[in-house]
Amino acid sequence: MKKFKRKSADFSIKFHIFSTMMVLTIMMLVLIWGLQGMFLNSVFKIAKESDLKRASNLITDNFNSGNVTPLISQVSIEYDICAKVINLDTGSDFYDKHFLNDCILHKISNYDFLIQSWYDEAIANDGEYTVVLPREKFRDFNYNVDNYEGDVPNNEESENCVISVRIIEGEDGQEYMLILNASIEPMHSTTRAIRIILLFVSLIFCVISIIISYALSRVLSKPIEKITSSAKEFGAGDYKVRFEENGPNEIIQLAKALNKAAISLDNSDKLQKELIANISHDLRTPLTMISGYSEFMRDFPEEVTSENMQVIIDETARLNSLVNDLLDVSKLQSGEQIVKMEKISLTKIILDTVNRYSKLNSHNDYKIIFDYKEEVFVLADETRMLQVIYNLVNNAINYTGADKTVTIRQDMLDDTVRISVIDTGEGISEEHLPLVWDRYYKVDKVHKRAILGTGLGLSIVKSILLLHHSRFGVSSELGKGSTFWFELKKL
């Protein structure tokens, strides 16, 4: 059993589609032939009863319009029925021509009681009466007149003759009885012809179904097979592979989603390689400085000065900052970092950050301006918000213009406060704006000022602000600078 299941799983989608269509075709043919066998007689009966009613209406409506005899003959031939019209006042036949073989009306003179019973039924039913009878009883002349009701078998298979009776009042004031008889038993030749036609239709249906099934299976399976082939390359690490977007809409949507994933992974792969190259550069520089100064002081002990030691300490701090940034990004984006929400002064955090840059301002002529009107309190994690401000200011200093000016603005917006960090650098093109928050993205792909961070700052900012459910964004104009902003609810 397990072996069979394993093999069935190897069947292609083409085989499944084709086999499903074939099963559906067989079921349709079985249904058609089954319905033909069960309902052919019933359908024929309904059709003949309907024809008999139309013929009766046509003769009745035109009975007093002149010479009705030709009309009765025409209707009898057209509808394949026998007609008999009896003048009830004289008891004579007004019309008695037969066009149907083995007709009950041929033998009606032997059963005068039937005419009386039909008349009585018609009078009781507003002048109309229809009854289905077995022709065999009349053919064998063995109807029991004394037990008419009990002798007529109640069996649909024996009911093969329908009688329609209509009482008509002539224009001469006399009363006439129109009797029409039709066979509701399909003739053998008719049944045989229907079945031969049905057989040919079934064969043609099978051939067309096979062709359509094969074509449909190819049309549906071909794009899936191509996607599967491309997916294998994609799974092997080839992110440049692209999936063909053709076929049914669902397959096109699948191909588009896979192409989007491939492009995203390809870009991430490129950016990750660039980040590794940048981080390698960042690591190599301080390590080279530490190694060089350490060897220098080892070889020349008399040169062990506080200035040389400070260089080693500064470069060690730089290495530590790089490692911490990498750990922060990893923890924040993996969801391991939990924020501690408390009431804090956002204004004070910004002031403390600006004060930390006072030494940088004095040595490198950077000017950091904080524009605010009042102290604002928010609900946030103090340590993480300090990281946000620090990284945004770092980024602004890294890309600010020749005036070396960075402006921090605190604006009040109804129940929120917006913090904007503005630089005067070269700006960012519109197509690059959505990418600046990416983990591996750098606008210029190189470090502008090596002393100012690792290039992971904006990714850290994004992750922290998402944890605070904060709105944030960036606007920029080429040649005029960029503005990074975020909003928090005021307390």
Whichever domain contains 78, its CATH number is 3.30.450
Point out which residues pair with 384 in neighbouring strands.
Answer: none
Pair 288, 326 in one domain:
yes
Cβ-Cβ contacts under 8 Å for 454 (sequence gap 6 or more)? 278, 279, 282, 321, 322, 325, 326
Residue 35 exposure: Cα atoms within 13 Å on the Cβ side:
8
- Six token digits for residue 441: 């993205």
Pair 316, 364 in one domain:
no
What is the number of domains present in the chain? 3
Residue 131: its pLDDT value, please?
84
Pair 303, 427 in one domain:
no
Residue 410: its pLDDT value, please?
94
Pair 317, 365 in one domain:
no
CATH number of residue 332's parent domain: 1.10.287.130
CATH number of residue 485's parent domain: 3.30.565.10
Residue 164 within a domain? yes
Among 277, 302, 336, give the residue marking a domain's end: 336
Residue 430 within a domain? yes
Residue 453 within a domain? yes
Residue 153: its pLDDT value, please?
41
Residue 224 within a domain? no
Residue 359: its pLDDT value, please?
58
Residue 471: its pLDDT value, please?
93
What are the backbone dihedrals phi and psi of residue 393, each rounded to the nearest 5 degrees, phi first? -65, -40
Pair 55, 173 in one domain:
yes
Question: Which residue in the block uniquely carries the two structure tokens 């092997």?
Answer: 236
Residue 144 DSSP class: -
Low-confidence residues of the chain, pLDDT below 50? Answer: 1-9, 139-158, 445-452
Pair 32, 119 in one domain:
yes
Cα–Cα distances in angstroms (integers) from residue 69 to residues 36, 58, 64, 106, in the given order: 38, 12, 11, 18
Residue 135 DSSP class: H
- Find, among 183, 219, 169, the residue nearest to 60 by Cα: 169
Residue 10 within a domain? no
Structural domain for 378, as ranges: 338-489
Among 310, 336, 362, give the residue marking a domain's end: 336
- Find, among 293, 296, 260, 275, the residue nearest to 456 by Cα: 275
Residue 208 within a domain? no
Among 163, 191, 219, give the residue marking a domain's end: 191
What are the backbone dihedrals phi and psi of residue 95, each rounded to the nearest 5 degrees, phi first? -150, 135
Whole-model pTM: value is 0.45
Pair 294, 246 in one domain:
yes
Pair 360, 407 in one domain:
yes
- Find, among 353, 379, 404, 412, the residue nearest to 491 by Cα: 379
Residue 215 within a domain? no
Pair 483, 347 in one domain:
yes
Helix intervals (H) in 300-381: 306-334, 346-356, 358-364
Residue 358: its pLDDT value, please?
66
Pair 182, 327 in one domain:
no
Nearest-10 Cα torsion for 277, 280, 286, 288: -110
Cβ-Cβ contacts under 8 Å for 194 (sequence gap 6 or more)? 36, 40, 186
By 3-state DSSP, what share of the chain in percent is helix, strand and coil, each rounded to 5? 60, 15, 25
Residue 69 within a domain? yes
Cα separation, 103 vs 295, in Å, equals 129
Residue 8: its pLDDT value, please?
44
Digit-coded pLDDT (tens) for 55-108: 999 999 888 887 888 999 999 888 888 898 988 888 888 888 877 766 777 666
Pair 442, 321 in one domain:
no
Pair 157, 282 in one domain:
no
Residue 172: its pLDDT value, please?
81
